[in-house]
Amino acid sequence: MSNEFTYEYIPLRGITKETLRFYDVKTKIDREGKPVSIGFRYPNGAYKVRSLLEKEFFWVKNSNGEAGVGLFGTDKFASGAHKYITITEGELDALSLYQVLKSTVVSLKSATSGASDVAHLRSWLSPYERIYLCFDNDPAGREAVQNVAKLFDYNKVFVVKFSNRKDANEYLQAGEEDQLRNIWWNSKKYLPETIVSSFSDFEEILKNKASPGFPYPFRTLNEMTYGIRTGETVLLTAQEKVGKTSIMKEILYKLLKETDDAIGAIFLEEPKLRLLQALAGRELRRPVHLPDCGASYDELLTALRTVVVQDERLHIYSHFGSDDPDVLLDTIRFLVTARGCKYVLFDHITMAVSGLSNERDERRALDYLSTRLAMMVKELDFALIMVSHVNDNGQTRGSHYITKIADITIQAERDTLALDPLERNIIHLKIPFNRFCAKSGPAGNLSLDTKTYILEEVTNGPVNDNFPAPDEREAT
């Protein structure tokens, strides 16, 4: 019967009634006045219950049959209302730190679910200037720090490292509030482990044997590069209207068709509709974006489902003319860490800062963006294929630094003034720089069949009779 128990705010383990009331954490009391369990209410109305008899946790689901999601305590604070937020590993630790700091403190459901808990509320957390990670001083806690820190720019992540206690609540129970407060204030910025020195470390590293990367859609390019590998930045350069976006679409299509990986597609000059039409058209082998293509909506949808296969796999981002590099960097970090994208296609970096007021600001922004992207690729181990426009001298537009950060540079050229209309439509690939295997030079010739709109490698010369002059077809 319901009257067999009462639910009260009862101080415990150094936590006051006021703190328990603030977080709405109640203790279940039986008829004899004995505490039975503690209920931690999550924002969606579900309760994580800690049994005081069996020393175990279980969930009391909400009215929709759902367990708790995200982070405990987020419903008690407005996003970004304070400069700093602290994330603990347990609910009692969150209450303990809040009682000491009187600032925003929330908690993971557990160390093992830490990354997914935080990813679920990443946009809610992002407005905070600093994010303090206060996890247990044990192997599970230290691993959780690494996994959660990857979700954010390292400049805003701080780690609370305990010395002689396991967690925040132990300090509170020991009456060491001042020490706990000082530990928090002396927290340092998170730094990933960057130095290895033991043979056991070397042995683990050597187990990662070199293997061919995922193959490009073009044979010669594969022979020159050994494919696409995670942890590398590939830069595709060309002047305007050469066909860079067409090349990127072929790579995207092949990745979707031949891998199960999540992929981020950032096409800053390509509307979402046109990109989806290109993928469906590649599957149907016809230019479905043209009004006389004859493809129905159902055909397009079926083709697109065949290519993408499942929801939450292809993540398309398009924003025309963003001038904030940090927004784009944060978006890419989100795609890789929260959405699991193994490959990110970025077309193109020059467009990302095109809204800046002068060339000097644009150069600085491109230097900053390209450098941070290269660092992120190594840090998070994903493959970045990036496009940049070049000027008449073949130099990357806006910043020469873009080419310096790339592991492999692929140059695309097309003689748009050639007298032969067939030659005008041949894209010549070259590799001026290849850090992986040092192969450089000509890397094949590509031709677009306008009946199927498929870009394929051809021999050295104009061989495709389907090509009209450039002004007779859509600029690629």
What is the C-alpha to C-alpha distance for residues 459 and 476, in angstroms, rounded to an integer? 21
- Per residue in 336-366, pLDDT (tens digit) is 998 999 999 998 887 777 655 556 777 788 8
Q: What integer is the mean pLDDT of 430-445?
A: 92
Rounded to two decimals, the pTM is: 0.78
Highest mean pLDDT among 20-29, 390-399, 463-472: 20-29
Q: Are residues 140 and 241 in the same domain?
A: no
pLDDT score for 206: 83
What is the C-alpha to C-alpha distance for residues 130 and 153, in angstroms, rounded to an integer? 10
Q: What integer is the mean pLDDT of 429-457?
A: 90
Instruction: Give me the percent of the chain exceeding a pLDDT of 70.
Output: 90
Q: Are residues 378 and 264 in the same domain?
A: yes
Instruction: Assess if residue 56 is contained within a domain.
Output: yes
Structural element, H or E, at residue 84: strand 84-88
Q: Give burial (CB, 10 Å; 0-12/13-18/19+) of 465.
A: exposed
Q: Are residues 224 and 113 in the same domain?
A: no
Select from 409, 434, 469 the last residue of a domain.
409
Q: Are residues 374 and 302 in the same domain?
A: yes
Instruction: Assess if residue 355 is contained within a domain.
Output: yes
- Residue 95 DSSP code: H
The three-point CA angle 305-118-259 to 5° equals: 30
Instruction: Assess if residue 198 is contained within a domain.
Output: no
262 by DSSP, 3-state: which?
Answer: strand
Q: Are residues 33 and 102 in the same domain?
A: no
Q: Are residues 129 and 277 in the same domain?
A: no
Q: What integer is the mean pLDDT of 181-198?
A: 84
Instruction: Assess if residue 347 is contained within a domain.
Output: yes
* Residue type present at position 302: T
The three-point CA angle 413-235-259 to 5° equals: 105
Q: What integer is the mean pLDDT of 291-303?
A: 90
- Per residue in 46-77, pLDDT (tens digit) is 999 999 877 788 899 888 888 888 899 999 99
Q: Are residues 173 and 244 in the same domain?
A: no
CATH code: domain of residue 241: 3.40.50.300
Which residues are registered as beta bridge partners of 106?
Answer: 87
Select from 145, 171, 189 the last residue of a domain.
189
Least confident range of 13-17, 130-134, 388-392: 388-392
- Residue 72 DSSP code: B
pLDDT score for 393: 65
Q: What integer is the mean pLDDT of 160-179?
A: 91
Q: Is the pLDDT of residue 159 over 70?
A: yes
Structure tokens at 196: 């290895």
Q: What integer is the mean pLDDT of 180-184?
A: 94
Residues 6+ apart with CB under 8 A from 364: none
More confident residue, 1 or 442: 442
Instruction: Assess if residue 284 is contained within a domain.
Output: yes
Confidence at 270, pLDDT banded by 50, 70, 90: confident
Confidence at 460, pLDDT banded by 50, 70, 90: low
What is the C-alpha to C-alpha distance for residues 42 and 24, in angstroms, rounded to an integer? 9
Q: Is the pLDDT of residue 326 over 90?
A: no
Instruction: Assess if residue 425 is contained within a domain.
Output: no
Instruction: Give me the percent of the chain exceeding a pLDDT of 90.
Output: 54
Instruction: Assess if residue 159 is contained within a domain.
Output: yes
What is the C-alpha to C-alpha distance for residues 263 and 255, in angstroms, rounded to an integer? 8
Select from 171, 189, 207 the last residue of a domain.
189
Average pLDDT value for the chain: 86
Q: Are residues 41 and 112 in the same domain?
A: no
Structural domain tally of the chain? 3
DSSP string, 97-138: HHHHH-SEEEE-S-STTHHHHHHHTHHHHTT-SEEEEE--SS
Task: Give the 3-state DSSP-derived string for 384-409, with helices as H, strands as E and coil as C.
Answer: EEEEEEECCCCCECCCCHHHHHCCEE
Which residues are registered as beta bridge partners of 389?
Answer: 238
Q: Are residues 295 and 398 in the same domain?
A: yes
What is the C-alpha to C-alpha distance for residues 460 and 139, in angstroms, rounded to an integer? 58
Which residues are registered as beta bridge partners of 47?
Answer: 41, 60
More confident residue, 374 or 362: 374
* Domain span including residue 35: 2-60
The alpha carbons of the chain give a radius of gyration, in whole angstroms, of 28
Q: Are residues 106 and 148 in the same domain?
A: yes
CATH code: domain of residue 159: 3.40.1360.10
pLDDT score for 328: 87
Q: Are residues 114 and 146 in the same domain?
A: yes
Contact 467, 457 (CB under 8 A): no
Sheet holding 341-347, edge to edge: 314-317, 262-267, 341-347, 383-389, 233-238, 408-413, 426-434, 441-449, 454-458
Q: Give burial (CB, 10 Å; 0-12/13-18/19+) of 358.
A: exposed
Q: Are residues 114 and 176 in the same domain?
A: yes
Instruction: Assess if residue 317 is contained within a domain.
Output: yes
Q: Is the pLDDT of residue 197 over 90?
A: no
What is the C-alpha to C-alpha distance for residues 400 and 405, in angstroms, rounded to an integer? 10
First to last CA, the chain: 72
